[in-house]
Amino acid sequence: MSILIIQILNSLFYASVLFLIAAGLSLIFGVMRIVNMAHGTFYAVGAFTAAWLVARAVALGVPTIWTFLLIPLGAVVVALIGVVIEPLLLRPFYRRAEEYQLLVTFGLLLILEDVIRLVWGGLPLSADPVMDLLPSIHIGGLIYPGYNLVVITVGAVAALLLWAVIYRTKFGVMLRATSQDRRMASALGINVGLVYVAAFAIGCFMAGLGGAIIVPTQAAVLGMGIDALVLAFVVVVIGGLGSLQGALVGALIVSFVRTAGIQFFPEMELAVLYLIAAVVLLVKPTGLFGSV
Amino acid sequence: MKADVSRISYRPKLWLAASAAGALIVLALLPPLIGLYQTQLLTYGLIAAIAALGFNLLLGYTGPLSFGHSAFFGIGAYSVAFLLRDAGIHSMELYILIGLPISALASALFGYICVRHTRIFFGILTLALSQVVYSLALKLFWITGGTDGLRVPRPTLLAGTLSFTGAGAFQRFIDAYYYYVLVVFAICVVVMWVIVHSPFGKALQAIRDNETRAAFLGLRIRRFRWMSFLISGTFTGLAGILWAPLNGLTTPDVLYWTFSGEIVFTALLGGFRNFTGPIVGGIVFTYLKTYAVATTEYWQLLLGVVLVLLVMLLPTGIVGAISVAGKKLGLRGNPP
């Protein structure tokens, strides 16, 4: 029984990180109609930045309790990178064919992967002190790290906040208007360029946050972003590209299937996920919640 | 369409055949001049060209962008490794004869699923399916060797008349294999040329340019896309079959989706809007990557910058740019 609870918690933990990545990907696609192949790499940049900051702070003798505050900084850095990249690299491509948009973000992926290696080297970086800060909790005789509950909470709060921003604020209305009809929104006086930058920055922030909060539990390694991207694709394909609920439900489905997979059929775990995505695309091409 | 038909008159065709024959002769004379290493590199280049040629039937002539062609390349390479290990086959001809239907079967299956979608969904679906193959190759390590991959020693060529053991075997193999690949490459180019200039190829281009109009003309869009996917995947599979013995090892890396990205890159580099683009792209990309890897630790960065610059400044690729420049100078550009 307690194993079941732990497995459910594991799934939720994994789902909240996946949701952060996939929701960003989905938001960017929903507003800008660009599938960002470098999105997973943004997640990796967030992880590396947070891990590096924590390691620096610990080395400088900052009390570990304060290192907690450094985690969100990783996400902020990624958002700033997004603010620079959108006008510089992506803006020239909105009117071009889809292939070019995919390719330019693929080029960005190649560049960023090596920038990570250039800045932080090839060795894994971890931020264990943050993880050790929180006590473990006991579930029916089994020990579970308290930090994982924080991650689950962050995921849930992020989902709520994002929902509130998109559906309950003026900025959200602008965002949705732009995503539905860019020219009409522009004609109505919305600064579409600004909305695009904001949407891209929010998407990047979420990917970075996903990386930053996972890094205390597992080290940041090269290639983590490329792996994460494909899983995020699976999530948005199941849930529907451009849909927030879809990203949430997709992340939950993928996480539970993956946890079950690791338990019962470890060899097929990843293959099953990709097959689920393929089946969803066949049966309902727009995904469970998509309307594209 | 009408203009196109009249343009392909007798004289340009002869001119084209002559220039193709000229290029082939140059390629055939090269090895003694450029040495062993360059010959090996050029062989890799020709193989990449075959893969890109197949890929381009889909992207350049039919429209959809596949991000899963690594699957067919990898299936070709792994079928060679399996044939060697489990059936004890050492003959290159048998590899091709058995490997081609396997690649065709895989492409037919993948294509059947993927052509139901267009645009971005097609790309993601091909990516997802190729990742299924990748994760199986990675996880079923007792069959595929996992990340270690499978070794593929030098096969015999021409039904066993040429075998490569003993002293200097490597050099003799590369020398012979270069011509072997060159012949296969020439056959591929001719076959692909015939395909894209046949009524079937014209139908594909009609679908690419305007799907609705093509449907009204009575073309069965999905069937044509499927056929195109099948041929495209089989060509890429053939490239994988040829690649495995040259590389001596096949690993899951060639199944990973970033390798599909490299195939797309190759086609774009040469220019996917014309016939010769992917061929040039395959050879240039091989050299570009080799020298990038040799000169800097951060070769991915270099390739990424080249890709971004290419997409921004030179979207028609090398061949496209040359033919535009040629037209501007009043010369005749490369034939499309």
CA distance B75 to A205: 38
B271 token code pair: 């220019």
Distance CA A233, CA A239 (A): 10
Residue A291 banded pLDDT, cuts 50, 70, 90: low
pLDDT tens digits for A192-249? 889 999 999 999 999 999 999 998 888 888 888 888 888 898 898 888 888 888 899 9
| Closest-CA residue to B261 (of A195, A35, A76) | A35
User: Among B136, B257, B298, whose Cβ lies nearest the Cβ of A271?
Assistant: B136
Q: Is A98 on the interface with B (CB under 8 A)?
A: yes
Q: Is the CB of B124 less than 8 angstroms away from the CB of A226?
A: no
Q: Across the interface, do B128 and A278 touch by the CB < 8 Å criterion?
A: yes
Lowest mean pLDDT among A39-53, B11-25, B68-82, B186-200: B11-25
Is there a contact between A255 and A11 (Cβ–Cβ < 8 Å)?
A: yes
Mean pLDDT for the stretch of residues B315-322:
83
Closest-CA distance, B108 to chain A, in angstroms, reads: 16
Q: Read off the DSSP letter of residue A58.
A: H
The residues that bridge with B91 in the sheet, in sequence order, are: B156
Within 10 angstroms of residue B160's Cβ, the number of other Cβ atoms is: 13
The answer to whether the Cβ–Cβ distance between A271 and B258 falls below 8 Å is no
Quick one: which of A198, A235, A278 has its CA closest to A16?
A: A235
Sorted by sequence, the CB contacts under 8 Å of residue B295 that are 6+ apart come out as none
The answer to whether B277 and B317 have CB atoms below 8 angstroms apart is yes
Nearest CA in chain B to A266: B139
Could you tell me which of B262, B269, B222, B307 has the C-alpha nearest to residue B69? B262
What count of CB pairs under 8 Å joins A to B?
A: 119
Query: With contact defined as beta carbons under 8 Å apart, do B241 and B79 qualify?
Result: yes
Q: Which residue in A208, A60, A230, A58 sits closest to A132, CA to CA?
A: A58
Determine the residue of chain B that is closest to A269 in CA distance: B135
Query: From the candidates B129, B132, B266, which should be mutated to test the interface with A, based on the most A CB atoms within 10 A?
Result: B132
Specify the higher pLDDT residue, B7 or B322: B322
- Nearest chain B residue to A267 by CA: give it: B139
3-state secondary structure of B249: strand
Any CB–CB contact under 8 A between A265 and chain B? no
| Cβ B260 vs Cβ A109: under 8 Å | no
Q: What percent of chain B has pLDDT over 90?
A: 28
Tokens of B84: 């060697």
- Based on its alpha-carbon atoms, the radius of gyration of chain A, rounded to whole angstroms, reads 19
Residues A111, B265: C-beta atoms closer than 8 Å: no
Instruction: List the single best residue of A34, A35, A102, A110 to mutate versus B (max B Cβ within 10 A).
Output: A110
pLDDT at A39: 93
Of the partner residues B59, B65, B129, the one whose CB lies closest to the CB of residue A278: B129
Q: Is the pLDDT of residue B2 over 60?
A: no
Closest in A103, A269, A278 to B307, CB measured:
A103
User: Does A191 have pLDDT greater than 60?
Assistant: yes
Banded pLDDT at A44 (limits 50, 70, 90)? very high
Contact A269 B139 (CB under 8 A): yes
- Smallest CA–CA distance, residue B46 to chain A, in Å, is 23
What is the mean pLDDT of the segment spanning A22-33?
A: 89
Interchain contact B189–A (C-beta under 8 A) = no
Please list, residue by residue across B99-131, b when 16 or more beta carbons sit within 10 angstroms of its beta carbon and e when fewer do.
bbebbbebbbebbebbbbbbebbbbbbbbbbbb
Residue of A nearest to B258 (CA): A226
**Which amino acid, residue B247?**
N
pLDDT at A55 over 60: yes
Whole-number CA gyration radius for chain B: 20
CB contact under 8 Å between A268 and B131, yes or no, is no
pLDDT tens readout for residues B278-312: 999 999 999 988 888 888 888 888 888 988 888 88
pLDDT tens-digit series, residues B221-251: 889 999 999 999 999 999 999 999 888 888 8
Cβ B125–A96 below 8 Å, yes or no?
A: no
Contact list, A237 vs chain B (CB under 8 Å): 121, 124-125, 128
Percent of chain A residues past pLDDT 90, beyond the cut:
31
3-state SS of A153-211? Answer: HHHHHHHHHHHHHHHHCHHHHHHHHHHHCHHHHHHCCCCHHHHHHHHHHHHHHHHHHHH
- Do the Cβ atoms of B124 and A98 come within 8 Å? no
Best mutation target among B62, B258, B260, B299 (most A Cβ atoms within 10 Å) is: B258
In chain A, residues with a C-beta closer than 8 Å to the C-beta of B123 are 35, 102
Whole-angstrom distance, CA of residue B280 vs CA of residue B289: 14
Give pLDDT, residue B137: 87
Distance from the Cα of B219 to chain A's closest Cα (Å) equals 23
Mean pLDDT over residues B70-90, rounded?
Answer: 89
Pairwise CA distance, residues A126 & A215, whole Å: 6
B327 — contact with chain A (CB < 8 Å)?
no
Which residue of chain A is at minimal alpha-carbon distance from B59?
A: A99
Q: Which residues pair with A144 in a beta bridge?
A: A137
Distance CA B189, CA B276 (A): 9
pLDDT bucket at B9, cuts 50 / 70 / 90? low
Q: Does B304 contact A109 at a Cβ distance shorter than 8 Å? A: yes
pLDDT tens by residue, A235-253 = 988 888 888 888 999 999 9
Q: Is A104 within 8 Å of B136 when comparing Cβ atoms? A: no
How far apart are alpha carbons A49 and A280 in whole angstroms?
35
Which residue of chain A comes nearest to B313, CA vs CA? Answer: A92
- Tokens 């009408």, residue? B2
Nearest-CB residue to A270 (from B120, B135, B261): B135
CA–CA distance, A88 with A288 (Å, rounded to integer)? 34
pLDDT at position B10: 58
Helix (H) or strand (E) holding B150, with range, is: strand B150-151
Which among B124, B138, B139 has the least Cβ separation from residue A237? Answer: B124
- Nearest Cβ partner for A274 among B129, B298, B308: B129
**Is residue B304 less than 8 Å (CB to CB) from chain A?**
yes
B268 interfaces chain A, CB cutoff of 8 Å? yes
Give the span between the Cα atoms of A165 and A185, in whole angstroms: 18
The pLDDT-based confidence of B11 (bands split at 50, 70, 90) is: low
Report chain A residues whose CB lies below 8 A from the CB of B261: 37, 106
pLDDT score, position A226 = 85
Return the residue of A nearest to B314 by Cα: A100
With CB atoms and an 8 Å threshold, state whether A278 touches B127: no
User: What integer pLDDT is reported at residue A248 of this predicted model?
Assistant: 92
pLDDT band at A84 (very low <50, low <70, confident <90, very high): very high
Q: Is B261 on the interface with A (CB under 8 A)?
A: yes
Say whether A103 and B311 touch across the interface (CB within 8 A).
yes
Query: Cβ B315–A237 below 8 Å, yes or no?
Result: no
